[in-house]
Structures are given as C-alpha cells and as structure tokens.
Amino acid sequence: MSQPQTINSDLTQASEQVFNRVKNAGAEADLIIIAAESLSLKASDGELEEQTVSNTQSFGVRVIKDDHIGIAYSEASDEESLQWMVDQALQNATFSDPEPHERILDSQQSLVSDDSVFFPEDPATVDQQIDMVLELEQGLLKKPLIKNVPYNGVSDIANSRYLFSSAGLSAASRQRMVYAYAYALAEDGEKNAMEGTGQMNRLTHQLNVAELVESVASASLDLLDGAPIPSKHYDVIFDRECQIELFGVFSMVLSGKAAKEGINPWREKLGGVVADRRLNLTDMPLLMDGFGYALFDDEGTATANTPMIVEGKLNTMMHNSVTADHFGLTTTGHASRGARSTMGVGSHQLVIDTGTASAAELYAGEYLEITSMAGLHSGANAISGDFSLGVSGFLCRDGKRVQPVRGVTVAGNFYKMLNQIQCIGDQSFWNWQRSSLMPSIRFADLAISGE
Amino acid sequence: MLNPATAQSVIDHALSLGADFAELFVEKHLTSSLNTISEKVKSVDSGIDFGIGLRIVFGGKVLYGYTNQTDAEGLMRIASNLAARDKRDRMHEGVAFDFSVMTDRHPSKIVLSKDAAIDSKVEYLLKADAVARAVSDSITQTRGYCNQREQAIEIFNSEGLHTSDTRNYIRAGLTSIASDGTEQATGGWNDGGLLGWELNGSMDADFTGEEASRQALVNLSAKPCPSGRMPVVIGNGFGGVIFHEACGHLLETTSVAKKASVFHDQMGEMIASSVVNAVDDGLMNNEWGSINIDDEGMPTQRTQLIKDGKLTNFLVDRIGSEKTGYPRSGSGRRQSYRFAPASRMRNTFIEAGDSDMDEMIASIDKGIYASHMGGGSVQPGTGEFNFAVTEGYYVENGKIQYPVKAATLISTGPAVLKEISMVGKDFALACGMCGSVSGAIPTTVGQPALKVDDILVGGNA
C-alpha cells in the first residue's frame, strides 16, 4: 500500500527474541502485539466529569510443537516477561490434544495498511474534544423534557496491531477512530424513557454534534408515550442498529470453526437453501468506509470479499487455515485471534445486498418497527436459533409511526426467520459504529407479546 | 509491586497540580484457562496482566489514566496531561503512607502462582464429560471450562493509604449440547468461588455432567412458551439475577448520584413488597463476589439494602459518597487497572422467607415456573429489565405441565419488587459476571424460590 508504516524496531527485536526461544525449543509460533492509546471524556451538569487516558500494549504468542498448541500472553514487554510468556505457551502445549490441522502459515509477506486513510493525523486538540462532549450534553439538556444525560462521551482511540511469525511474516495495521454517544433520560410526569445512539468517524471534526443531539433526543422523546400492544404475530422491521446486532449474534452459523466443532446448525447445509432466495450476504473486509476494514486476518492472510449466502444458498463458511484444512478447503481470510485467545474465525464487515422493495412496498400496511432490543446476550441462543427479547419501537401503518411501543417482547427462531422475509429494501445503511452495511428487511409473522 | 517512593512521588506530583485526591491502583494478574470439547483438551492458555491506574480528583471531576509502565516519570507525565485543564495551586499536602494489613477472610490453597493443577482440572472436566454423554445418545457434545485467576493489587492514595490484597478466583463448568437431528438445545452447570483449585474438593463431576445433560434434554423436548402477563415462580440460586437486574443496579450510587435511578430519592420508602429483605454482602467466606477490601482500599461490608420492603441503604463508593452524602460501603470495584472504580454489587441476594415451593406452584392457575435463569440487563434510568429463562415449565391448575423454551421475563424494577407475593425457604447462591461502567466483575446472585404475581412473559407459542 502507499504510505508504508515502519514497524517500531523495539517490536521487531521483541519478536526476534520470542522466535529465537521458540526455535530453540523446536517449535514454531506467531506473535500478535496489540497497542492502544485512548482518550475518553464524559460530561455531567455542564462540566467535564471524567477524563481517561491510556497507553497499553499486549503480547500474545501461539506456539505449535509436535501438533500441540499453546497460548500465552503478557502485558509486560521486558526480556524476562517475554521469556516467561514463551515458556508458559510451550508448557500449555503439553496439555492440549494434538491438532494436526493447525500450522503457522509459510508466509514471508510484509503487509502494511495505509496510514493516510486509516490513521490520519487529527488536528483536534483535547480542549476541542472536551468542548464537544460538553456541547453534546448541554445540547440535549436544552431539549424540553430531557432531564438528564447520564451516559455520554467522546472517545479518541488509536489501535495498532502487529503480527509476526517464525516463518517470516511481518504485518502491521493501524486505525484511528473518534466517536461520540449519549443516552438521554426524558421525563414527563410519571412517564420516562431513556434511549441513545452515537456517531463514529476517523477525525473529530467529522462528528456532527448537532445532528447527534437531535437523534438522541428524538430516540428518547418519541418513546415517552410507549405502551404495550396486543399480543399477536406482526410483520417486523428491525432498525439498522437492531438488525445488525441480531445478525451479529447469530453469525455463528457462518463459522467454519463452529462447523468443525459440530455445533454450527448449518454445518450440513453448504450449497443448500438456508434463507429466502432474495438474500445475498457477503463479507467485505476491504470496504474502506467501514471500521471493520481489514487488509489481513490474524494469520496474516490477505483478505478478499467472500460471498457467504448467495440467493439464499449457503455459499461458504468463514475459514482460517485450520478449519479450511479440516474440510479440505483453503482459508477465506477469516482467522481471528487476540493477544490472549486461541485461533478462531470472525467476520470483518457483513454486507447484505440491497433488494428491490421501494419504501412504499417495504412500509406498506401494518408492521412493528423495532428500535431498541434488550437481553441479546442472554435471550438469544445461537446454537438453537431461538430468541426472546424485550423490545421497544413503533407500531406503524403505511410508513407512519402510529403508536410508540414499550413493554413487549419479540420471540422466534432466527434461522427460520431468514425464510420469513417479506421484502428487502432498495437502500443500504451503515450502523453508527460502521461495522456492517445492510438494507432494511421486513420479516413476516413474528410473535410479539404485549398486553 | 510498585516502589512506595515512586508511588509517593507520583501522588505528590498530582497534589502539586492542585488535585483534591490522588490514587494509584497497581495490579498484577495471573490467568489460566482450560477448555475441553467432549473428551478432548481444546486449549490451555495463560498470561499476565500488569498495569497501573492513576485517579486524580478535582472537586467532582474524575481524571483517570492507565499504563503498563512503572517508571515515575511516565506516571507523572500522565498526571500532568490529565490535569492540564484543571491545574491550580496546591490545595492539599501529601500524607505519608501508613501500610495497613487487611484481614484475609478468604484463604486459598491451590493458587495459580504455586500450581496451575492442569492435570487435575483436565481429569475433572473429562469425567464430567463422560458422565454427561452417558446420560443419553442425544447428548452430542460437551464443552467444559476451568478459569483460574490470581489478582494481586496494591493501592496508594493521597490520604496516606497503602494496602494490598491477593484475590484467587476459580470457576469451572460444563455445557451439554443435545440434538434430535433437527433441533439443538443446551444445558449447563458451573460452580466457582473466591478460592483456589481446592474448589475441586467440593464439586462433584458426576453431578455437573448429569445436571448439564438433564437440562439440555429438557430444553430439547420443550415446547414454545405461552406469552402474556401471568404469575411466575422463579427458582432459587441464579434466579436471583432478577433482583440483581431489577433492583441492585438501581441502588448503586453510580446511577443514584446521576439521578439515573428510579430509586434515587426513595431512601426509607417502601420500594418492595413487605416480604422482601435484600442484602449485598462482601464478607461471605470464599464466595465468588466477596472481597477483603474494595478497589479503593476500604474493608468491605455487609449492606442491608431492603428491610421488610423498605429501602435502607445504597451501594456507595468514594465518589458516590461525595456526591450523595451517603457513607461508603466498601463497594468501590473495578475489573482491572484499566477502569476507574465505581459502586458495584458483591454477593447480592434476597433473604429466605417462609413459603413452600409446592404452595407457590399450587397457587398458580396459568403461569410459568422458571427453574433456571440466564443473564439479563437493565436500563437504569427507567428500571426496565429483561432476563432469559434457560429452563422453564408451563404451570396450569396448580400443577407443572410441560417444559417451555425461549422465554424472557420483562418488567421494571419498581413494578416487580411490588409483585413479589411469596418468598421460599430454599435459599441458594450462584456465580455470575456483572458488566457495568467499571468493567466485568465477579458477583454472586441469590435467592430462595419466589413468586411474582404478574410479569410479562415473552414466548413464541
């Protein structure tokens, strides 16, 4: 790429030290180094309430010796700590069962992401960012019925990820992100509501606080009069945030690792129909507008667009070299590993193709627009596909919100729901964290429990 | 872990910038994680977290920085950067450290720094797996884990506090996956505590395996859950998550001080049915949510939150105390040096009552018995909560009828506390992880079985 970074010589030396010890033990290894700098700001009652700064790095080694895998990590980078880390990984490997498919890839590539795009210099000062969080809180407090903004913030984060291997791989990527968010508590007599959202971008000046104030205020105020609706089956449209969260929770069905381990419910369905034929889902790691951009995965494999579901049929799963080897395939560039974790798979940026439904078709008749979900971490089971969640939103008719809705649940089975698609909108939207790009999808006949 | 002279110089530097209070939290954290899939050892990982958190307070403003570096210059640089906008003349003189030795209420034997005991842990998990898979041919797989940690902390502050503690955490469990060829269902069991691998002595691999598979098979046979408002009996132990979510979070000064809790102005008022007595107790020996000192260096306490339905105490950390005027309760907790402390729960439970389980079930015409609960969440500002039923049964005419799946209970804290009409005798505690502003921390939930007269059940029948 243009604008190659130079990898800090301290990190290169650390990696050499690690690999010398690994090679002396007759093993092979890779080393992930995650470094982060961050600034977080929160406001309360017109004053800066909290300011947090950090500067950290973590080293994580994966050793492979005689088909046995061992993982260890250290947040200390002195020579003694790195030696301890390697020795721990070697010792851990003696306890694990052999994994003949897991190898350090024979790659001597040097991969470096483009700093000019993903790690731009931000001319904003800390004082300007403090002013921004104060403006966000005060802007909301000026709105009628907004009594409090208990959760708000502006954060500026610079992440660096380095990957080295004993085979000679050297890869580096850096990314800067700045985001602002707020949750506002609206009160009107006995009624109250608290909702929120955020914005994320590369540079501080790209955030639009005035727009965020309006979004957060209306999210809370519009739900103040929310009430349950009669229990029955409704057509449902999840808003962009909720829909992407829901797909994220159930993305295990795309995991080659879960298939290898026998728990992926779609493990026997490769090439088969898993969803409505109008559904096309692709992982697009090189889409530069998103914050899931990845030039390489955590084995150092260069990434590429991967069609996962094509016209409703399961085209492929996400694979790293281990799961790919297990199934006699090649890696799809979805290796995922943190400094502390074992090798897994993970998506980068899931994108659903736009459909053909115009707004008039998508929003025709009665449907429930869900704008807030609670309990995703506990009320959704990726193995069975069952979910039951507390939700808020709006009962709509012909595109108009006719009643705010709270105190209801939506329940169903996500895998069956993918075959209950009524239509797919003809426009796509990023979620606020810019991790995924999807059009609105109208799902038919979901069980809503209310009054 | 940090030279006291270094700590003193950093804290003095912060005070010289005009800070009202300065504190260093030093942490060295050993971790070990073992995972199995059926009869195979899938992974063994270990590591060291090490870092220092620096908190500086100017009035009501908290400035926080953290780093992996231990040099005084680097720490002073963080202090200077944090205080750049608030710098003023010195307001307070530093106080020399007076090292205080805490009483260790939670002695541990087989600790990570001495013996990771991997062989013994593997033996336990593989035995539980064998038992689990022997229960039925429908059990297709198990997933076992054993996570152990040893967190050494040292705290210095500008009031002369210097103290330290070492916390040993252990948690082990097994999930069984059942399949009938088309559908899959899961069940699980785990145990843990603030101790070392001597936990092994009180755990039974046979029970763990049998219980995980029993629950998976029940869920495999479960029917869609009826939905709507109805009475629910919530089982003991992890059923206490209802109180944790519905009420506990709303009693933390983290939300009370911001007036983001519906209970912020209700001290001394009846906020629950008169049969409800609730406690948050950090002192219980070797319990998962216990501590010796909180993460601000204060010895922890037992805090009566609700007595006969009346709100009696909040959970209060240092900043919460300054903002609300309530005394600190030894509840300032954080996941690690990466987080400033906040008021958090410890072992939180509803105390035993005098109702029998049979009596509670018999009192229901149409409703649910939620014998095992999963996790949940709460919106502090409004008190709206949800939590998932991981094993539940439909009850009709006072009798349990059939198992149900995919059920969620939703309500608000104030509403559900007033709907508790019967509290059982079968008190039990269970381990959980609680996520909030200061990270994910070990907390215990607990209760006897109790009956909620009216709550919304979300199902897909």
Question: What is the C-alpha to C-alpha distance for residues B101 and B163, in angstroms, rounded to an integer?
Answer: 6
Residue B77's pLDDT is 92
Do residues A216 and A180 make contact, with C-beta atoms less than 8 angstroms apart?
Answer: no
CA distance B118 to chain A (A): 8
The reply to whether residue A75 touches residue B141, judged by beta carbons under 8 angstroms, is no
Residue whose C-alpha is closest to residue B457's, from B234, B219, B217: B234
| Gyration radius (Cα) of chain A, Å | 24
Chain A contact for B223 (CB, 8 A cutoff):
no
CA distance A378 to chain B (A): 5
Collapse the DSSP code of B427 into the 3-class scheme (helix H, G, I; strand E, B; otherwise coil) and give the result: coil
Give CA B44 to chain center in angstroms. Answer: 25
Cα angle for residues B79, B83, B89 (degrees, 5° grid): 110
The predicted model gives A155-179 an average pLDDT of: 95
The predicted model gives A42-54 an average pLDDT of: 91
The reply to whether residue A413 touches residue B460, judged by beta carbons under 8 angstroms, is yes
Q: Mind listing the pLDDT tens digit for each residue in A115-138?
A: 888 999 999 999 999 999 999 999
Compare CB distances from B456 to A183, A384, A407 and report the shortest one's residue: A407
CA distance B211 to chain A (A): 19
SS (H, E, C) chain A: CCCCCCCCHHHHHHHHHHHHHHHHCCCEEEEEEEEEEEEEEEEECCEEEEEEEEEEEEEEEEEEECCEEEEEEECCCCHHHHHHHHHHHHHHHCCCCCCCCCCCCCCCCEEECCHHHHCCCCCCCHHHHHHHHHHHHHHHHCCCCEEEEEEEEEEEEEEEEEEEECCCCEEEEEEEEEEEEEEEEEEECCEEEEEEEEEEECCHHHCCHHHHHHHHHHHHHCCCCCECCCCEEEEEEECHHHHHHHHHHCHHHHEHHHHHCCCCCCCCCCCCECCCCCCCEEECCCCCCCCCCCCECCCCCECCCEEEEECCEECCCECCHHHHHHCCCCCCCCEECCCCCCCEECCCCEEECCCCECHHHHCCCEEEEEEEEECHHHHECCCCCEEEEEEEEEEEECCEEEEEEEEEEEEEEHHHHCCCEEEEEEEEEECCCCCCEEEEEEEEEEEEECC
Taking CA–CA distances from A91, the nearest residue in chain B reads B44
Compare CB distances from B186 to A228, A342, A383 and report the shortest one's residue: A383
Q: Mind listing the pLDDT tens digit for each residue in A300-357?
A: 999 999 999 999 999 999 999 999 999 999 999 999 999 999 999 999 999 999 999 9
Domain ranges for chain B, please list them: 228-458
Residue A76's pLDDT is 87
Neighboring chain A residues of B146 at a CB cutoff of 8 Å: none
Spatial neighbors of A270 by CB under 8 A, at least 6 apart, are A314, A316, A317
| Gyration radius (Cα) of chain B, Å | 24
Confidence bin at A383 (pLDDT 50/70/90): confident
Residue whose C-alpha is closest to residue A375's, from A402, A408, A334: A408
Neighboring chain B residues of A341 at a CB cutoff of 8 Å: 45
Sign of CA dihedral A143, A146, A148, A152: negative
Over 50: is that where the pLDDT of A2 sits? Answer: no
Taking CA–CA distances from B120, the nearest residue in chain A reads A95
Neighboring chain B residues of A389 at a CB cutoff of 8 Å: 386, 408, 458
Per-residue pLDDT of chain B in tens (461 residues, 90 and over written 9): 899 999 999 999 999 999 999 999 999 999 999 999 999 999 999 999 999 999 999 988 999 999 988 889 999 999 998 998 899 999 999 899 999 888 899 999 999 999 999 999 999 999 999 999 999 999 999 999 999 999 999 999 999 999 999 999 999 999 999 999 888 899 999 999 999 999 999 999 999 999 999 999 999 999 999 989 999 999 999 999 989 988 999 999 999 998 888 899 999 999 999 999 999 999 999 999 999 999 999 999 999 999 999 999 999 999 999 999 999 999 999 999 999 999 999 999 999 999 999 999 999 999 999 999 988 888 877 888 888 899 999 999 999 999 999 789 999 888 999 999 999 999 999 999 999 999 999 999 999 999 999 999 988 77
Taking CA–CA distances from A378, the nearest residue in chain B reads B375
The predicted model gives A343-372 an average pLDDT of: 97
Give the bridge partners for B455, in sequence order. B230
Question: What is the C-alpha to C-alpha distance for residues B373 and B350, in angstroms, rounded to an integer?
Answer: 15
Residue whose C-alpha is closest to residue B269's, from B314, B310, B305: B310
Q: Mind listing the pLDDT tens digit for each residue in A224-262?
A: 999 999 999 999 999 999 999 999 999 999 999 999 998
CA distance A287 to chain B (A): 32
Over 50: is that where the pLDDT of A3 sits? Answer: no
Residue whose C-alpha is closest to residue A375's, from B432, B457, B391, B376: B376
Residue A6's pLDDT is 62
Identify residue A326 by its one-letter amino acid code. Answer: H
Q: Tokens 């309430």 belong to which residue? A: A49
Compare CB distances from A388 to B118, B119, B459 and report the shortest one's residue: B459
Question: What is the C-alpha to C-alpha distance for residues B130 and B126, in angstroms, rounded to an integer?
Answer: 6
The reply to whether residue B260 touches residue A148, judged by beta carbons under 8 angstroms, is yes
Question: What is the C-alpha to C-alpha distance for residues B213 and A49, in angstroms, rounded to an integer?
Answer: 49
Mutate to test the interface with B, among A134, A449, A451 (most CBs of B within 10 A): A449
User: What percent of chain A has a predicted confidence (pLDDT) above 70?
Assistant: 98
The reply to whether residue A71 touches residue B45, judged by beta carbons under 8 angstroms, is yes
CA distance B100 to chain A (A): 28
The reply to whether residue A374 touches residue B386, judged by beta carbons under 8 angstroms, is yes
The predicted model gives A269-292 an average pLDDT of: 96
Residue B64, both tokens: 């926080």
Compare CB distances from B406 to A49, A69, A411 and report the shortest one's residue: A411
User: What percent of chain A has a predicted confidence (pLDDT) above 90?
Assistant: 88
A89 phi/psi in degrees, rounded to 5: -60, -40
Chain A contact for B460 (CB, 8 A cutoff):
yes
Considering the four listed CATH numbers 3.30.565.10, 3.40.50.300, 3.40.50.1370, 3.30.2290.10, the one that applies to the domain covering A9-221 is 3.30.2290.10
B39 phi/psi in degrees, rounded to 5: -90, 10
Question: What is the C-alpha to C-alpha distance for residues B216 and B141, in angstroms, rounded to an integer?
Answer: 11
Neighboring chain A residues of B50 at a CB cutoff of 8 Å: 74-76
The reply to whether residue A384 touches residue B388, judged by beta carbons under 8 angstroms, is no
Looking at residue B76, the DSSP 8-state letter turns out to be H
Q: Mind listing the pLDDT tens digit for each residue in A385-439?
A: 989 899 999 999 999 999 999 999 999 999 999 999 999 999 999 999 999 999 9
Query: Checking DSSP bridges between strand A232-238 and strand A366-374, what pairing results, if any?
Result: parallel
Taking each helix axis from N to C end, the angle separating A79-93 and A9-24, rounded to the nearest 10 degrees, works out to 40
Range list for CATH 3.30.2290.10 in chain A: 9-221
Tell me how far CA of residue B277 lies from CA of A158, A439, B250, B252, B272, in angstroms: 47, 49, 16, 17, 9
| pTM of the entire predicted model | 0.88
Neighboring chain B residues of A55 at a CB cutoff of 8 Å: 66-69, 78
Residue whose C-alpha is closest to residue A357's, from A258, A425, A280, A260: A425
The reply to whether residue B458 touches residue A185, judged by beta carbons under 8 angstroms, is no
Question: What is the C-alpha to C-alpha distance for residues A396 and A369, in angstroms, rounded to an integer?
Answer: 7
Tell me how far CA of residue A193 lies from CA of A59, A352, B140, in angstroms: 43, 32, 45
Identify residue A64 by its one-letter amino acid code. Answer: I
Neighboring chain A residues of B47 at a CB cutoff of 8 Å: 60, 72-75, 85, 88, 340
Residue whose C-alpha is closest to residue B287's, from B434, B439, B118, B171: B171
The predicted model gives A14-36 an average pLDDT of: 96
Neighboring chain A residues of B374 at a CB cutoff of 8 Å: 378-379
Chain A contact for B84 (CB, 8 A cutoff):
yes
Residue B159's pLDDT is 96
Over 50: is that where the pLDDT of A1 sits? Answer: no
Question: What is the C-alpha to C-alpha distance for residues B446 and B373, in angstroms, rounded to an integer?
Answer: 11
The reply to whether residue B458 touches residue A74, judged by beta carbons under 8 angstroms, is no
Residue B129, both tokens: 């797996």
Collapse the DSSP code of B128 into the 3-class scheme (helix H, G, I; strand E, B; otherwise coil) and give the result: helix
Question: What is the C-alpha to C-alpha distance for residues B58 and B64, in angstroms, rounded to an integer?
Answer: 11
Chain A contact for B80 (CB, 8 A cutoff):
no
Chain A contact for B60 (CB, 8 A cutoff):
yes
Helices (H), B28-181: 72-82, 118-134
Residue A98's pLDDT is 95
The predicted model gives A164-170 an average pLDDT of: 95
The reply to whether residue A57 touches residue B68, judged by beta carbons under 8 angstroms, is yes
CA distance B455 to chain A (A): 10
Question: What is the C-alpha to C-alpha distance for residues A398 and A392, in angstroms, rounded to an integer?
Answer: 19
The reply to whether residue A72 touches residue B47, judged by beta carbons under 8 angstroms, is yes
Sign of CA dihedral A278, A284, A287, A289: positive
Collapse the DSSP code of B121 into the 3-class scheme (helix H, G, I; strand E, B; otherwise coil) and give the result: helix
Question: What is the C-alpha to C-alpha distance for residues B273 and B447, in angstroms, rounded to an integer?
Answer: 15
Question: What is the C-alpha to C-alpha distance for residues B231 and B450, in angstroms, rounded to an integer?
Answer: 11
Residue A76, both tokens: 């200390």
Residue A70, both tokens: 């061992």
SS (H, E, C) A83-133: HHHHHHHHHHHCCCCCCCCCCCCCCCCEEECCHHHHCCCCCCCHHHHHHHH
